[in-house]
Structure 1
Amino acid sequence: MSALAPVAALLVSVALLLMGNGLQGALLPLRAEIDAQTAIEIGILGSSYFLGFGIGCLSAARFVQRAGHIRVFAAAVALASTTALVHALISEPAIWWLLRGTTGFCFAILYTVIESWLNEKATSENRGAIFSVYTVINLTVLTLGQLMLLLGDPAQFPLFAVASILVSLSAIPLALSTSEAPAPIQSAKINLKKLYRQSPVGAAGVLAVGLANGSFWALAPIFAAGRADAASPAAAVAIFMSVVVVGGAIGQWPIGLLSDRMDRRRVLIMTALGAIAAALCMLLVADRVPHGVFIFGFFYGVFGFPINAIATAHMNDHTEPSGFVETASGLLLLYGIGAVIGPIMASIIISFTNLDALFGWILAVQTVLVLFTLYRVTRREAVADEDQGSFASALIAAQTTSPITASSGPRRRGTETGAPSD
């Protein structure tokens, strides 16, 4: 507990931020459906958030260098809090896309400021503990934020006000903290071609997670609402999104420990096959099983969510210490590209079929990932045990929102420069 004392205020700030963001993430697609927005419009809404988020992560360093951590944090909080309220005042889809992109931009900057602060206050002895707690907070308060849908009617103003209040309150702990602000953030160069050459499977895995899970975050609320009784769509959305996140939290560690003991590519294949099985069950038998949507949603979380950390860990196994920040930034960009494209593609398919096509899209993405990984297994030997980093470090990096935490990652010998490997 003594390790957490210097960063307690920061952890409270991130808890409030994520709670507000979790509520908005579940509320907006549901409200959009109530307002008769189309599946494609809702898909673009989800893509807009990730587009703004990616831009925010890549530009945060320049803002902080210019104005300082606290001023940038306060400005981003004010803007993010405002956009949450404007959603309730204007229902025009194009305006919502702009607002959602702005929200993503703001949250990327907010998380980057907090993570850089946490990283500077952490030491080599307590870094793992601090960021493990940070990861637990991420998953816990995200669930709580989604369950806040049960507090009101998505068609009314109060839930938007609650989201705005939570975001606004997050400024107080950090603003009143007596901790010294960290050093200016340094921007990292990104070379996606080099990233792919380091580890094709690592790059493909993170991109696939963006395509699949970006679509899930954008469209799963309307999928769950469509499966609910007419009287309780908000409850169905809150419970469904929460059980998936809980499943993802439960699946991380056992799957991660397994990946530390064998070829991560094979673990990735097994995990993706589990996600495929869950998606198939959602498509074929969920309606025939009592509470089947929630049960198979839980198992999708168990298998679908850890893939990002497995792919990140595999990429880390092939990264030199001097290139870790660059690699983390590149993986963030790859995830963002996937999360921008995925919701749009999934929503187009849904518009021609039905809401079940969301999991058809996810199934297709995971299937391509499995086939590609199987191919790469035949092209390159597994990483030697002594060169393999720990999954725990990759889990922390994969759950956080910026490359700022890169120094908490493994310091392992990578592959020879320029040599394609897996």
Structure 2
Amino acid sequence: MAAQLLPIFALLVSTTFLLIGNGLHGLLLPLRGTADAFTTTQLGLLGAGYAVGFVAGCILTPQIVRRVGHVRAFGAAASCASVVVLLNGMLVQPELWIALRVVSGFCMAASFMIIESWLNERASNASRGTIFGLYLTVNYVAVMGGQFLVAASDHRTMMPFMLGAIAFSLAVVPTSLSKAASPKPLEAVKIDLRRLHRVSPVAVVTVLLVGLVNGAFGTLAPVFGAQVGLSTTLIATMMGVAIVAGAVMQLPVGRFSDRLDRRTVIAAGSMGAAFSGLLILLVRPDAPWLLLALVGIYGALSYPLYGLAISHANDLAKGENFIGTSAAMLLLYGIGTIIGPVVASWAMSTISPFGLFAVTAGGHGAMALYTVYRTYRRPAALSDQPGSPIFLGTYNRLSRLLNRPTSRFGA
């Protein structure tokens, strides 16, 4: 184990600081914006701006890395993210924050692409599962740590913004001082959404809708918590419960989908997530424990859907370009994450704070109905039959979007 981890130790330490900063930043902005009377629409646009920047970063980062290398590109991205956090604290204006959130999304996309390509090159087939399992663990722990730093400080002061800037700045240090060789430049990939829809319409629709609902939840759940009177600690706990529940369910859901038509598992998970969102909307729980329990069920059922969709798409891709398929799916997820916060902010303004869960329930319900429809339109492919190996989806991208977890897009 030590021999496997030593070459990537510095990278994992950098990742930890980076995600502490991102977890803190993603929770801090909606809480501070709510305290400063930003409208729900403006808070939703913060999430949409992050997603726009993240998508742009995914497209442009390979060119930047080919020009200046991994270490310089990562250092530039983390340093810019640090500057953005400080500017957010110094200039509390909604329009400026939305623009800065685009920059933040770009920086985080660049950072994650660099980290993951670096890890992939350092990992062998024998160690890849261990290394990426540890990487995901670092993701979850660091993001939650950053969120609880918000709870431990006063979000109405400059202190949490400075803590975020410190975390982003520290992320540069380990990789800058490491003697490990840089990986090969990132490869440019061709994204063909039309062809992907022909091959796997369920995967395309699922990822788009998962981006919509999780983008809405990741951006506006803290706003929902503040509007219904939860303390900052309870808001951080609520976000952490959703992340942990989703993380715990990844492996069992993935293994279960290996034994069935993956579309059946997608339909069941999305129906369950729709039901949990509908329960929160209709019951409007006052007791914090009940709200946390329902949000945990939501996270457990909703978050694995991205990985299932990636797996289903690559089942049908056969021997073709897996990287191109994953890139196309990430782009679709990003588009959904741009739309979700805008729609959810309108629902929360029109209905009530619980309108957030009307959007998640509607998105998951549409996902379930479409998936069931497609299972009758086209029988399961051979690769969907029990016993076929699962293509492990990049769930870590989702956590970025949530902050995701949360995700890979999120505010």
In the superposition, the TM-score normalised over structure 2's length comes to 0.93
Q: CA deviation at 1:254?
A: 1.6
Deviations 1:177-217 (A, max 9, x none): 11111111111111110111121111111111100000111
**What whole-Å deviation, never above 9, does each CA across 1:300-341 have from its counterpart, x for those lacking one?**
111011111111111110113341111111011000000001
Q: Give, as a single letter, the amino acid of the residue that structure 1 aligns with 2:393.
A: A
Give, in angstroms, the shift of residue 16 of structure 1.
1.2
Distance 1:17 1:397 in 2: 14
Secondary structure of 2:74 counterpart: helix
Question: Which residue number in structure 1 is paired with residue 303 of structure 2?
Answer: 305
Take 1:365 and 1:326, find their aligned partners in 2: how far apart are those partners? 26
Decide which moves more: 247-256 or 330-339.
Answer: 247-256
- Equivalent residues of 1:148, 1:238 under 8 A apart: no
**What does 1:108-187 correspond to in 2, within 5 Å?**
108-187=109-188
Partner-residue secondary structure (3-state), 1:188: coil
Deviations 1:48-96 (A, max 9, x none): 0011011001100010111111111111111110000110111111100
SS of alignment partner, residue 317 of structure 2? coil
Task: Specify the code of the residue in structure 2 equivalent to 1:257.
Answer: R
Gaps of 5+ in 1: 403-422
AA at the equivalent of 1:14: T
Return the alpha-carbon distance in structure 1 between the equivalents of residues 183 and 59 of structure 2: 18
Q: Is this contact kept in 2: 1:283–1:360, CA < 8 A?
A: yes
What does 1:20-419 correspond to in 2, within 5 Å? 20-229=21-230, 233-287=231-285, 289=287, 291-384=289-382, 390-391=389-390, 393-396=392-395, 399=398
Question: Given that residues 31 and 155 in structure 2 are in contact (C-alpha distance below 8 angstroms), is that contact kept between their aligned partners in structure 1?
Answer: yes
> What's the counterpart of residue 18 of structure 1?
19
- Checking the alignment, whether the CA contact within 8 Å between 2:57 and 2:105 is kept in structure 1 is yes
Indicate if the aligned counterparts of 1:256 and 1:392 stay in contact, CA closer than 8 A: no
Distance of aligned partners of 1:290 and 1:23 in 2 relative to their CA distance in 1, 3 Å threshold:
closer
* Residue 338 to residue 385, structure 1, CA distance change in 2 (3 Å): closer
- Quote the RMSD (CA, aligned, Å): 1.7
Other structure's SS at 2:295 match: helix
Contact 1:316 1:389 in 2 (8 A): no
**Structure 1 stretch displaced more, 117-126 or 35-44:** 117-126
The letter of the residue matching 2:359 is: W
Cα deviation 1:9-41 (Å, max 9, x = unaligned): 111111111111011111100110111000000
CA contact (8 A) 1:282 1:292 kept: no
Query: In 2, distance between residues paired with 1:107 and 1:356?
Result: 30
Q: Distance in 2 between matches of 1:225 and 1:236?
A: 10
Q: Is the 8 A contact 2:315 2:384 kept in 1?
A: no
2:376 counterpart letter in structure 1: T
Identical columns (%): 38
SS of the aligned residue for 1:255 comes to helix
> Which stretches in structure 2 are left out of the alignment for 5+ residues?
402-411
TM (norm. structure 1) is 0.91
Between Structure 1 and Structure 2, how many residues are aligned? 399
